[in-house]
């Protein structure tokens, strides 16, 4: 596994955790993270968030060769996690996590470049017919983006292109730290490669803000036939390193982990009674 630029994906719907796995995993996060996890009503949300936190901790501990206990995360005013440098001075680092559909994903760069990641399941289960859903979502995309989305052949491909655009927008607004609070029509993507692939990065998508092309790089690929992922990266004059997403399992995730907290049997039982 890379200890430099990293891209990890974890299919948490395929993970049916045992009691011992939850015991050890929930002992390897900070107490405030454990408290946040307890508030989730559904197992899938608990698992997705837990995996995201563990991926962050694994990356920092292995990359900088530090103990789990020395890795301290805090949250900014918008709730975005960041690495606390007060105890140990870390080199430049950008990282981000996302979870949706069946996957939790993690992207990291050993640089000051702003970075955001987003994963989307390529489906629509909103209840309304697709044309009505697109009408409601009109203001979320620019006219050129809608031309690309609606120009796809058939509803399935239109939905996939809609989700791809949404992942791109989410990755960008997460990278710049504003969330979906801006006018999304001002953020317009030009898709140059219409098809995404597994095991191959697409990097020729262009970003325009109010019609002006921006100096950002977007890495896109399929995790499987039903999920796409996008990484937004502030452009590096050196070109940077292109890294494919690597799917990891629980054993890989927990390799070299260290407990921060005592194991908690009551907390673990409460996980298993979630929906």
Summarised one tens digit per residue, pLDDT across range 155-211 is 999 999 999 999 999 999 999 987 666 788 899 999 999 999 999 999 999 999 999
**Helix, strand, coil share (%) of the chain residues, nearest 5:** 35, 25, 40
Confidence class for position 2, pLDDT limits 50, 70, 90: very low
pLDDT at position 91 is 67
Same domain, 23 and 99: yes
Q: How many domains does the chain have?
A: 2
Interval 39-54: pLDDT, tens: 999 999 999 999 999 9
CB–CB of 107/115 below 8 Å? yes
Task: Identify which has the larger pLDDT, 243 or 183.
Answer: 243
pLDDT of 17 above 90: yes
Domain range for residue 227? 114-235
Same domain, 230 and 130: yes
Same domain, 186 and 95: no
CATH of the domain at 231: 3.90.470.20
Angle at 174 between CA 122 and CA 275, to 5 degrees: 55
Q: Shortest CA distance to 229 belongs to which of 167, 175, 166, 187?
A: 167
Same domain, 217 and 253: no
Same domain, 180 and 149: yes
Same domain, 99 and 154: no
Tokens of 68: 């789990």
CB–CB of 184/141 below 8 Å? yes
pLDDT at position 180 is 60
| Residue 213 to residue 18: CA distance in whole angstroms | 49
The residue with tokens 């490669």 is 193
Average pLDDT, the chain: 91
Task: Identify which has the larger pLDDT, 17 or 70.
Answer: 17
Same domain, 79 and 125: no
Same domain, 227 and 125: yes
Same domain, 122 and 224: yes
Same domain, 220 and 141: yes
pLDDT at position 1 is 43
- Range 6-33 average pLDDT: 97
pLDDT of 240 above 70: no
Same domain, 205 and 250: no
Same domain, 31 and 132: no
pTM of the complete model beyond 0.85:
yes
Angle at 79 between CA 212 and CA 260, to 5 degrees: 135
Q: Is 148 helix (H, G, I), strand (E, B) or coil?
A: helix
pLDDT at position 65 is 86
- Range 126-150 average pLDDT: 92
């Amino acid at each position: 596994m890379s200890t430099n630029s990293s891209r990890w994906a974890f299919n948490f719907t395929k993970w049916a955790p045992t009691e011992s796995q939850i015991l050890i995993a929930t002992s390897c996060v900070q107490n405030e993270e454990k408290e946040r996890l307890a508030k989730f009503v559904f197992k899938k949300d608990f698992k997705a968030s837990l995996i995201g936190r563990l991926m962050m901790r694994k990356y920092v501990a292995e990359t900088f060769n530090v103990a789990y206990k020395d890795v301290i995360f805090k949250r900014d005013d918008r709730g975005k996690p960041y690495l606390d440098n007060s105890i140990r001075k870390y080199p430049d680092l950008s990282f981000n996590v996302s979870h949706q559909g069946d996957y939790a994903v993690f992207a990291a760069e050993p640089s000051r470049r702003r970075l955001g990641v987003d994963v989307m399941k390529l489906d629509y289960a909103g209840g309304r017919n697709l044309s009505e859903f697109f009408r409601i979502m009109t203001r979320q995309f620019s006219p050129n983006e809608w031309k690309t989305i609606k120009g796809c052949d058939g509803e399935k491909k239109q939905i996939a292109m809609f989700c791809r655009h949404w992942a791109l927008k989410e990755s960008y607004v997460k990278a710049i730290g504003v969330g979906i609070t801006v006018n999304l029509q001002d953020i317009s993507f030009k898709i140059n490669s219409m098809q995404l692939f597994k095991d191959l990065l697409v990097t020729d998508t262009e970003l325009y803000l109010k019609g002006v092309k921006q100096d950002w790089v977007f890495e896109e690929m399929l995790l499987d036939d039903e999920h796409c992922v996008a990484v937004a990266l502030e452009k590096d004059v050196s070109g940077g390193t292109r890294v494919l997403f690597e799917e990891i399992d629980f054993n890989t995730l927990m390799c070299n982990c260290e407990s921060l907290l005592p194991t908690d049997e009551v907390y673990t039982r409460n996980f298993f009674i979630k929906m």
